[in-house]
A and B are shown apart, each in its own frame.
Chain A
């Protein structure tokens, strides 16, 4: 029997394929990662099917790579060593919405689009990263630690508990979902080791079959302010001071390129016009009024914003470049990107490649300098670099992201941009940028410089997946 027919016995004939076209589709994504074809693509429809496929693969030492999103930007779903690609995008049931205890239970294929549509009816939201692709799995995003727009510590760590299929096919329930007894199963910590261990693993420690995520009440009222800056050096202090007072809900900084890409809905001309008119950097600060006396909360927060701004000589405005963007922008930020529009990251060119890392706010300008320097050496136009700074937890640290666009159909452009991308990433890392979720080329770079951590990870990996069947070749495994 062939691999595909064996797998078909588990998932059904319609859900297993070795059609070259299907394999090719699953061999690549939007990243620079080298395409690699799997031997077989299988779509699971239940936890039991995942377990059966994993057991089968483990017995035969066949690699398994999981895909939950129908889109990928970082290469994590490319099967480095072939084998089976287990497509979970069809497992897309919202198993439970529980407003009372502020959680939702979902399968891995549930997209942000689908989830938020269900939550809108309850007046709630899932905490979103910056305008995720409509086909992005909400669960994958949470596992991959995509930074959320809300800078409050209580909103972080959105993944509560999950059911994870281990390499031998056993189902491990994490946190208080670990077994019988308690009914909600949402407290993140259960037995040793803690559930945090499984985040950022890119499917190398287990395959998550379902999860409970935090959800939040939507505010009843919002007021969006913009602070404009010509220089990135000037953004840290206002952020430190405003966030130290625990002001604001969605808080982020975008440069003109990214903000124009998000807002331009009238084609290339609109994008160019916006990019020219927008400030170099815009701090977006949403003051949100919760369920009770929303105006009064916004009012006292507003006073603090103006007090800080006065002290620093900057001017909050409810418009940016004369445009009244607040209501439109905040509505956009609380949804995934619309399904009927071109994705904002791909509006300028067909490809977008991001360097993402953590640093402290005061160090952001030095990294901007590094990116500018490398870009200049490679002849990449500085105005085409996307910059996004996401303060986390009242600004104790930030997620910093620089992006480069390229035309994926043009081999020269791909080659040039890839060279720039790799050098820029290495330069950022060397200067102390922290790649917490090291995708693709960053894995070797990071793990070759973290010897103690890497040795410990390998010990853990061996315990969880002694035959190294789960996404082999990723991270340091």
Chain B
């Protein structure tokens, strides 16, 4: 929209009244920076937002939402800047809420939780928690990831063997709903409450905050929440050396130990995971292919291809079960777990990786399992490409994880068991240099999935996230009508469809498909 547009000027003036000039921007040079769509292929075509605003807390956000309802402008919220494609502007007058100023962090050491605002990163939580003998679930998403956003959307963790899926780590939360109401959940729901527990009262609104993914800001803006922390025996500061991309970290052997057990094929590795789950040893547990490990190891693109072509990874790490054990009880726990792992390796045909290769891996990469602060992920030069039309990883049982490994060699494979192997995450992607070709490939795969229909989509739960992410598409694909219920909730809380419109559920598309005005598309008694 032209900057001189009367509605633009009206909205600008009102936003400035709420936040002050310093925290409202409509300069094209600034808003252009909020257009990018990285790491999140989709069918949407982003445009520049018309405004970028920087609130300081829930009251600021509540006022912005009230303005949106008064002047009918769309808005979305980002966090620390990962996966911004899910909040990029799609319509005129779009206000992008950047929570940069909302970066406060409090830790309750006694009761093991951290209260975070949207701009607090996982790395910050990890650093502060370790000072008091605790640690957070570590995402496989980079240290800069917002702890809040990663807990309510996606959030598979390198520690998921113990910390489970991210959503299990949600405690009390505070949101501003699209109607301007403040929603506080769990123990925080009562006026005297704290953040210490997440359930209830009554139905558990943690399910309202997220399913597999979350509502992407389309049903409210989470302004604060508490996440669970877990016991950590130390050290309180990671002993690092050097700087990325050659940063090293070796944790003391009486606190943390790493094991790499090589298997001839992934099936044997999965059986080993099952036994590890049964024995309940280890904290950081996963099964990886050489390709996956190679993505996290190199210091440069040249080194990556050199090591790859030398066959170093294939020789030492195909396929490998990696386990990090942590001395939460005492050093004797480490000795015990080592004995158990040795027995499991023997029984399942595993071979401990040669010392030199294992040590090289541990020194440079293993600590990223504890906190993704070694920037290893930023060294990952190739781009992962979906290997099947469904696109995304599979979440179900460990048996399903194995069944869903595509029959191709050289895949970037990661199987993460969750909650002591109660369920598992399986990601299998092909590798390619980044560029237009890889993006085009992803789009082709998504289009194929859409064309092939429900079964292709249903092969991967996360497929619903990658493929446009909208529940009105994915629910029917799975044979469910839950999108009708979601539409009713969305209509009730956001009748003008202003909160990140088009994300999570596309009310306009739903209305079009029903051939009726959006306000009449809510299901009433007939969903």
Q: How far is the CB of A206 from chain B (nearest CB, A)?
A: 10
Interface residues of A in 90-115 (CB under 8 A from B): 100-103
Rounded to whole angstroms, the CA-CA distance of A145 and B278 in the bound complex is: 25
Rounded to whole angstroms, the CA-CA distance of A154 and B411 in the bound complex is: 30
B448: Cβ under 8 A from any A Cβ: no
Q: How far is the CB of A167 from chain B (nearest CB, A)?
A: 8
Return the contact of B211 from the options A102, A153, A193, A247 (Cβ within 8 A): A193
Tell me whether B461 and A190 are in contact (CB under 8 A): yes
B7: Cβ under 8 A from any A Cβ: no
Tell me whether A293 and B336 are in contact (CB under 8 A): yes
Q: Which 5 A-B pairs have the closest CB atoms?
A: A181-B458, A197-B207, A179-B478, A436-B200, A463-B488
B309: Cβ under 8 A from any A Cβ: no
CB-based nearest A residue for B399 = A101
9 new A-B contacts, CB < 8 A, other than A191-B212, A198-B207, are A100-B399, A180-B454, A194-B211, A197-B208, A214-B419, A246-B328, A292-B340, A358-B197, A449-B191
21 examples of A-B residue contacts, CB within 8 angstroms: A100-B274, A101-B398, A101-B423, A154-B419, A180-B455, A181-B458, A183-B399, A187-B397, A190-B478, A191-B212, A201-B202, A202-B202, A214-B419, A246-B328, A292-B344, A397-B111, A434-B197, A446-B202, A452-B184, A459-B489, A462-B488
Rounded to whole angstroms, the CA-CA distance of A205 and B110 in the bound complex is: 36
Contacts of B203 in A (CB 8 A): 197-201, 204-205, 457, 460, 475
Q: Which of B133, B199, B203, B485 has the most CB of A within 10 A?
A: B203
Interface residues in chain A, defined as those with a beta carbon under 8 Å from any beta carbon in chain B: 58, 100-103, 145, 153-154, 156-157, 160, 166, 168, 170, 172-173, 176, 178-202, 204-205, 214, 217, 240, 244-247, 290-293, 296-297, 299-301, 303-304, 358, 360-362, 393-397, 432, 434-438, 443, 446-447, 449-450, 452-453, 455-457, 459-460, 462-464, 466-467, 475-476
Rounded to whole angstroms, the CA-CA distance of A269 and B133 in the bound complex is: 49
Contacts of A296 in B (CB 8 A): 336, 339
CB-based nearest A residue for B527 = A168
Tell me whether B278 and A197 are in contact (CB under 8 A): no
Q: How far is the CB of A210 from chain B (nearest CB, A)?
A: 16
Contacts of A145 in B (CB 8 A): 199-200
Rounded to whole angstroms, the CA-CA distance of A116 and B227 in the bound complex is: 33
Contacts of B332 in A (CB 8 A): 299-300, 303
Rounded to whole angstroms, the CA-CA distance of A299 and B335 in the bound complex is: 12
Q: How far is the CB of A60 from chain B (nearest CB, A)?
A: 12
CB-based nearest A residue for B215 = A192
B474: Cβ under 8 A from any A Cβ: yes
Q: How far is the CB of A353 from chain B (nearest CB, A)?
A: 19
Tell me whether A360 and B336 are in contact (CB under 8 A): no
Contacts of A450 in B (CB 8 A): 184, 189-190, 201
Interface residues of B in 371-416 (CB under 8 A from A): 394-400, 403
Annotate B276-295 by CB proximity to A: 1 below 8 A, 0 otherwise. Answer: 01111000000000000000
Tell me whether B197 and A453 are in contact (CB under 8 A): no
Rounded to whole angstroms, the CA-CA distance of A138 and B480 in the bound complex is: 26
Contacts of B192 in A (CB 8 A): 432
Contacts of B482 in A (CB 8 A): 172, 191-193
Contacts of B205 in A (CB 8 A): 197, 453, 456-457
**A194-B167, A246-B231 known; A200 vs B200 contact (CB < 8 Å):** yes
Return the contact of A396 from the options B112, B474, B481, B488 (Cβ within 8 A): B112
Q: How far is the CB of A106 from chain B (nearest CB, A)?
A: 16
Tell me whether A464 and B485 are in contact (CB under 8 A): yes
Tell me whether A101 and B525 are in contact (CB under 8 A): no
Return the contact of B492 from the options A58, A154, A303, A462 (Cβ within 8 A): A462
Contacts of A304 in B (CB 8 A): 329-330
B183: Cβ under 8 A from any A Cβ: yes
Tell me whether B479 and A179 are in contact (CB under 8 A): yes
Return the contact of B396 from the options A186, A443, A447 (Cβ within 8 A): A186
Rounded to whole angstroms, the CA-CA distance of A166 and B204 in the bound complex is: 17
Contacts of B184 in A (CB 8 A): 450, 452-453
**A168-B527, A189-B167 known; A436 vs B480 contact (CB < 8 Å):** no
Rounded to whole angstroms, the CA-CA distance of A475 and B231 in the bound complex is: 36
Tell me whether A182 and B215 are in contact (CB under 8 A): no
Tell me whether B399 and A184 are in contact (CB under 8 A): yes
Contacts of B197 in A (CB 8 A): 358, 397, 434, 436
B428: Cβ under 8 A from any A Cβ: no
Contacts of B186 in A (CB 8 A): 434, 436
Rounded to whole angstroms, the CA-CA distance of A228 and B333 in the bound complex is: 27
Rounded to whole angstroms, the CA-CA distance of A394 and B135 in the bound complex is: 14
Rounded to whole angstroms, the CA-CA distance of A92 and B471 in the bound complex is: 34
Contacts of B277 in A (CB 8 A): 102
CB-based nearest A residue for B203 = A201
B34: Cβ under 8 A from any A Cβ: no
Annotate B402-440 by CB proximity to A: 1 below 8 A, 0 otherwise. Answer: 010000000000000001111100000000000000000
Tell me whether A200 and B278 are in contact (CB under 8 A): no
Tell me whether B213 and A187 are in contact (CB under 8 A): no
**A184-B396, A434-B190 known; A300 vs B333 contact (CB < 8 Å):** yes
CB-based nearest A residue for B191 = A449
Tell me whether B196 and A397 are in contact (CB under 8 A): yes
Contacts of A166 in B (CB 8 A): 485, 527
B91: Cβ under 8 A from any A Cβ: no
Interface residues of B in 462-505 (CB under 8 A from A): 464, 471, 474-475, 477-483, 485-486, 488-489, 492-493, 504-505
Tell me whether A194 and B333 are in contact (CB under 8 A): no
Rounded to whole angstroms, the CA-CA distance of A191 and B477 in the bound complex is: 11
B512: Cβ under 8 A from any A Cβ: no
Rounded to whole angstroms, the CA-CA distance of A203 and B173 in the bound complex is: 24
Annotate B516-527 by CB proximity to A: 1 below 8 A, 0 otherwise. Answer: 000000011111
B260: Cβ under 8 A from any A Cβ: no
CB-based nearest A residue for B233 = A245
Rounded to whole angstroms, the CA-CA distance of A72 and B271 in the bound complex is: 42
Contacts of B397 in A (CB 8 A): 101, 103, 184, 186-187
Tell me whether B231 and A244 are in contact (CB under 8 A): yes
Return the contact of A199 from the options B177, B199, B471, B479 (Cβ within 8 A): B199
B444: Cβ under 8 A from any A Cβ: no
**A172-B480, A199-B199, A290-B279 known; A456 vs B183 contact (CB < 8 Å):** yes
B181: Cβ under 8 A from any A Cβ: yes
Contacts of A179 in B (CB 8 A): 454, 458, 477-480
CB-based nearest B residue for A181 = B458
Contact segment of B14-22, B79-87, B158-166, B236-244: B158-166
Q: How far is the CB of A52 from chain B (nearest CB, A)?
A: 17
CB-based nearest B residue for A61 = B525
B306: Cβ under 8 A from any A Cβ: no
Contacts of A292 in B (CB 8 A): 279, 340, 343-344
Q: Which of A362, A393, A436 has the most CB of B within 10 A?
A: A436
Tell me whether A463 and B489 are in contact (CB under 8 A): yes
Contacts of B280 in A (CB 8 A): 290
Interface residues of B in 251-284 (CB under 8 A from A): 274, 277-280
Contacts of B399 in A (CB 8 A): 100-101, 183-184
Tell me whether A452 and B181 are in contact (CB under 8 A): yes
Rounded to whole angstroms, the CA-CA distance of A450 and B183 in the bound complex is: 9
B193: Cβ under 8 A from any A Cβ: yes
**A172-B482, A194-B210, A196-B167 known; A475 vs B202 contact (CB < 8 Å):** yes
Contacts of A176 in B (CB 8 A): 395-396, 461
Contacts of B231 in A (CB 8 A): 244-246, 394
Rounded to whole angstroms, the CA-CA distance of A166 and B69 in the bound complex is: 32
Rounded to whole angstroms, the CA-CA distance of A134 and B70 in the bound complex is: 57
Tell me whether B162 and A168 are in contact (CB under 8 A): no
Contacts of A58 in B (CB 8 A): 525
Rounded to whole angstroms, the CA-CA distance of A195 and B133 in the bound complex is: 32
Rounded to whole angstroms, the CA-CA distance of A301 and B197 in the bound complex is: 28
B217: Cβ under 8 A from any A Cβ: no
B168: Cβ under 8 A from any A Cβ: yes
Contacts of B478 in A (CB 8 A): 178-181, 190-191
B459: Cβ under 8 A from any A Cβ: yes
Contacts of A157 in B (CB 8 A): 164, 168
